[in-house]
A and B are shown apart, each in its own frame.
Chain A
Amino acid sequence: MSHVGSRLFASLLGALATTGLLAACDHGLAPPEPEVPGSIRGIVRYSGEWPPRSEVHDLRFVAMRFVPRDTADFLQLNLMAISGGLDYGVDADTFVIDDVAPGLFVYSGVAWQFTPNILSWKPVGLVEADGGLFAVESDRTTQVEVDVDFRNLPPFPPPLD
Chain B
Amino acid sequence: MKRSASRFLLVAVLTAVAVPATAQVARVYGTVTDSRGEPLPGVNVVLKGTLTGTATAEDGSYEIPRVEPGPWIIVASAVGFRSEERPVTLVAGSGMRVDFALEEDIVVQGEVVVTASRRAQAAVDVPASVAVLSPRDLDRRNVISLDDALRAIPGVHLQENQVNVRGSSGFAYNTGSRVLMLLDGMPILTPDTDGVAFDALPFGRIERIEVLKGPGSALYGSGALGGVVNVITKPIPEEPETEVRTYAGAWDPVRYEVWRAGWDGADRYRVFSGVSIAHARRLSRVAGAWVNLSARQDEGYLNYSRSRMVTGYGKLAWNPSMAVRASLLVGLLVREKDNFLFWNGARDPLNPGSLAIAPPDGAAPTGSNDVFGNQVSVLPTVTHVTSGRFAYTVKGRLFGTVIRPINDLTGKPEPASKGTLGFRYGGEVQANWSPARGSEATFGAARDALATRSTFYVTENGDDTGGQPETAVFGQWEQDVSSTVRTTAGLRYDRYDVDEANAVERMSPKLGVTWRVLPQGTLRLAYGHGFRVPSLAERFTDNRDFFPIVRNPTLRPERSVSYETGFRTTRVVAGAWSVEVDAAAFWNEYWDLIEPRLETRVRAFQFVNLTRARIRGFEASADVRREDRGDLLRLGYTWLDADDLSLGEALAFRSRHQFTASLDVRVTGPWEVGADARLMSAAERVDTDFARFVPDADLLVPIRVVDFRAGWNGGTWRAAVLVQNAFDYYYAERPAYLAATRRFTVQVAARF
Please list the residues of chain A having a beta carbon within 8 angstroms of any beta carbon in chain B: 1-2, 5-6, 9-10, 12-13, 16-17, 19-21, 23-24, 27-32, 34, 57-58, 70-72, 74-78, 80, 82, 85, 116-120
**Are A20 and B704 in contact, CB atoms less than 8 angstroms apart?**
yes
The answer to whether the Cβ of B647 comes within 8 Å of any Cβ in the partner chain is no
Q: A9-B626, A71-B603 are in contact. Are A20 and B359 (CB under 8 A)?
A: no
Q: Interface stretch among B165-173, B329-337, B438-446, B688-696?
A: B688-696
Q: Contact between B626 and A5 (Cβ–Cβ < 8 Å)?
A: yes
Chain A residue with Cβ nearest B706: A20
CB contacts under 8 Å to A, within B18-40, are none
**B85 in the interface, Cβ–Cβ < 8 Å?**
no
B356 and A82 within 8 A (CB): yes
Contacts of B730 in A (CB 8 A): 27-30
* With contact pairs A16-B661, A20-B706 given, residues A27 and B598 touching in the complex (Cβ less than 8 Å): no
**Any A CB within 8 A of the CB of B547:** yes
User: Which residues from A are CB-within-8-Å of B548?
Assistant: 117-119
In the complex, which residues of chain A have a beta carbon less than 8 angstroms from the beta carbon of B258? 31, 34
28 contacts between A and B (CB under 8 A): A1-B577, A2-B629, A6-B631, A6-B665, A9-B626, A9-B665, A10-B667, A12-B633, A16-B663, A16-B675, A17-B675, A17-B706, A19-B677, A20-B726, A23-B677, A27-B728, A27-B729, A28-B702, A29-B699, A32-B696, A34-B258, A57-B360, A71-B600, A72-B598, A77-B692, A78-B693, A85-B358, A117-B544
- B575 with A32: CB separation less than 8 A: no
Residue numbers in A under 8 Å from B357 (CB-CB): 58, 74, 77, 82, 118
The answer for the CA separation of A120 and B679 in the assembled complex, in Å, is 45
At the interface, yes or no: B310 with Cβ under 8 Å from chain A?
Answer: no
Task: State which of A2, A6, A27, A118 has its C-beta within 8 Å of the C-beta of B547.
Answer: A118
Chain B residues with CB below 8 A from A82, complex form:
356-357
Within 8 A of A (CB), among B676-707: 677, 679, 689, 691-696, 699, 701-702, 704-706
Chain B residues with Cβ below 8 Å from A20 are 675, 677, 704-706, 726-727
**Residues of chain B contacted by A24 (CB below 8 angstroms):** 704-706, 727-729
- Chain B hits for A71, CB < 8 A: 600, 603
Task: Kindly list chain A residues whose C-beta atoms are within 8 Å of the C-beta of B663.
Answer: 9, 12-13, 16
Give the shortest distance, in Å, between B669 (CB) and chain A (any CB).
Answer: 13
A10 to chain B, nearest CB (A): 6
Q: Which of B692, B701, B708, B727 contacts A75 (CB 8 A)?
A: B692
Q: A5-B631, A9-B665, A23-B679 are in contact. Are A118 and B359 (CB under 8 A)?
A: yes
B347 & A72 in contact (Cβ 8 Å cutoff): no
Would you call B603 and A77 a contact (CB within 8 A)?
no
Known contacts A17-B675, A17-B708, A31-B258, A78 near B695 by CB under 8 Å: yes
Expressed in whole angstroms, the Cα–Cα distance for A24 and B723 within the complex equals 15
Name the contact of A76 in the complex, choosing from B355, B692, B705 (C-beta under 8 A): B692
Does chain A have a CB within 8 A of B732? yes
Contact A31 B692 (CB under 8 A): no
A77 and B701 within 8 A (CB): no
- Contact, CB under 8 Å: B626 / A28: no
In the bound complex, CA of A17 to CA of B729 (Å): 14
Q: CA of A139 to CA of B28 in the docked complex: distance in angstroms?
A: 89
Please name all residues of chain A whose beta carbon is closer than 8 Å to the beta carbon of B355 when the two chains form the complex: 77
Contact assessment for B665 and A29 in the assembled complex, using a CB-CB cutoff below 8 Å: no
Interface residue total, chain B, C-beta cutoff 8 A: 61
Q: Is B256 an interface residue (CB 8 A)?
A: yes
In the assembled complex, the CB of B634 is this many whole angstroms from the nearest CB of chain A, namely 11
- Is B346 part of the binding interface, using a Cβ–Cβ cutoff of 8 Å? yes
A119 → chain B, closest Cβ, in Å? 4
**Contact call A118/B544, Cβ cutoff below 8 A:** yes
Report whether A29 and B701 are in contact in the complex, using a CB–CB cutoff of 8 Å: yes
Whether A72 and B701, one on each chain, are in contact in the complex, defined by CB atoms closer than 8 angstroms, is: no
CA distance A77 to B357 in the complex (A): 8
A28 to B678, CA, bound (A): 14
Other CB < 8 Å A-B pairs besides A6-B631, A23-B679, A78-B694, 14 of them? Answer: A6-B665, A9-B663, A13-B663, A13-B675, A17-B708, A21-B727, A23-B729, A24-B728, A29-B730, A58-B360, A72-B603, A77-B693, A116-B544, A117-B544
Within 8 Å by CB of A34, from B347, B544, B600, lies B347
A78 touches B692 (CB 8 A): yes
Task: Select from chain B the residue with minimum beta-carbon distance to A71.
Answer: B603
Q: CB-CB < 8 A to A116: which residues of B?
A: 359-360, 544
Q: Does B738 contact A (CB under 8 A)?
A: yes
For A34, list chain B residues within 8 Å (CB). 258, 347
Say if the beta carbon of B97 comes within 8 Å of chain A: no
With A29-B349, A77-B693 known as contacts, the answer to whether A117 contacts B603 (CB < 8 A) is yes
Select A13's contact among B600, B673, B695, beta carbons within 8 Å.
B673
Given A24-B704, A77-B356, are A29 and B675 neighbors across the interface (CB < 8 Å)?
no
In the complex, are the beta carbons of A13 and B360 less than 8 A apart? no
B604 interface contact, C-beta 8 A: yes
Cβ proximity bits B560-591 to A, threshold 8 Å, 1 near / 0 not: 00000000000000111100000000000000
B731 an interface residue at 8 Å Cβ cutoff?
yes
In the bound assembly, the distance between CA atoms of A117 and B548 in angstroms comes to 8
Bound-state CA distance A150–B663 (Å) is 72
How far is it, in angstroms, between the C-alpha of A32 and the C-alpha of B258 when the chains are bound? 10
Q: How far is the CA of A30 from the CA of B696 in the complex (A)?
A: 12
Taking CB atoms, residues of chain B closer than 8 Å to A74 are 357
Residues of chain A within 8 A (CB-CB) of B729 are 23-24, 27-28
Closest to A9 in B: B665
B259 within 8 A of A: yes
Distance to closest chain A CB from B227 (angstroms): 27
Q: Considering only CB atoms, which chain B residue lies closest to A111 in the complex?
A: B357
Chain A, Cβ-Cβ closest to B674? A13
- B704 adjacent to A28 (CB under 8 Å): yes
Check: B255 CB closer than 8 A to any chain A CB: yes
Across the interface, which residues of B come within 8 angstroms of A58, CB to CB?
Answer: 357-358, 360
Enumerate chain B residues within 8 angstroms of A29, measured Cβ to Cβ: 346, 349, 699, 701, 730-732, 738
A15: min CB distance to chain B, Å: 9
Rounded to whole angstroms, the CA-CA distance of A20 and B706 in the bound complex is 6
B727 touches A31 (CB 8 A): no
CA distance A47 to B356 in the complex (A): 28
Task: Give Cα A70–Cα B727 distance, bound, in whole angstroms.
Answer: 46
User: A4 → chain B, closest Cβ, in Å?
Assistant: 10
Query: When chains A and B are docked, how far (Å) is the Cα of A67 from the Cα of B150?
Result: 45
Contact B600 A31 (CB under 8 A): no
Nearest B residue to A57 by beta-carbon distance? B360
Q: How far does the alpha carbon of A70 sit from the alpha carbon of B609 in the complex, in Å?
A: 22
Interface centre among A24, A28, A75 (most CB of B within 10 A): A28
| A-chain residues with CB within 8 Å of residue B576 when the two chains form the complex | 2
Asked if A72 contacts B631 (CB within 8 A), the reply is: no
> Which B residue sits closest to A76, measured CB to CB?
B692
Q: Once bound together, how far apart are the Cα atoms of A29 and B255, in whole Å?
A: 11
CA distance A101 to B4 in the complex (A): 60
How far is B629's CA from A25's CA once the two chains are assembled, in angstroms? 33
Instruction: Report Cα–Cα, A32/B358, bound state, in Å.
Output: 27
CA distance A78 to B694 in the complex (A): 7
Q: Which residues of A contact B667 (CB under 8 A)?
A: 10
